[in-house]
Amino acid sequence: MFIELPAGKHSRSLLTKLGHEVLVANVRELRAITHSDRKSDKVDAQKLARYARLDPQILRPITHRSLEMHRALSVVRTRAVLVRLRTTAVNAVRGLTKPFGYRVPACSTAAFSKRCRTELPADVLSIVEPLLLQIE
């Protein structure tokens, strides 16, 4: 029996607990289905079922990451987003101060806000202060 499930690992684990064999097909390997002229859920399901019955390796089954691995990857991705946001904020401060004739000297990101507060005049500092708070 072939069942198409919505994306997600919870459905797979539920079916496995109920005693079913579950294959997650690698979509990139299924050109016969993805590039077919006869597209419908029923036709696609029949092709997948035939492939699985004939030789499951044709589907190039994949395994999902464990929950622990997914959490670790999410932490890495979250940190990457924060680093990009911080870099964008630093570049914005540098760009916003240039038209006023000021340049913030090169320094580490940790020292950037402090350096800006000592180097920039109050009127320019009031413009970039919200960004400096975010950088900190």
The pLDDT score that the predictor gives to residue 72 is: 94
Rounded to two decimals, what is the model's pTM? 0.59
* Cβ contact 88:109 at 8 Å: no
Per-residue pLDDT of the chain (136 residues; tens, 9 = 90+): 555 555 555 676 777 788 877 777 777 777 777 777 777 888 877 877 777 777 777 777 777 777 888 899 999 999 999 999 999 999 999 999 999 999 998 999 999 999 999 999 999 999 999 999 999 9
Rg of the chain over Cα atoms, rounded to whole angstroms, equals: 27
The pLDDT score that the predictor gives to residue 43 is: 81
* Cβ contact 25:59 at 8 Å: yes
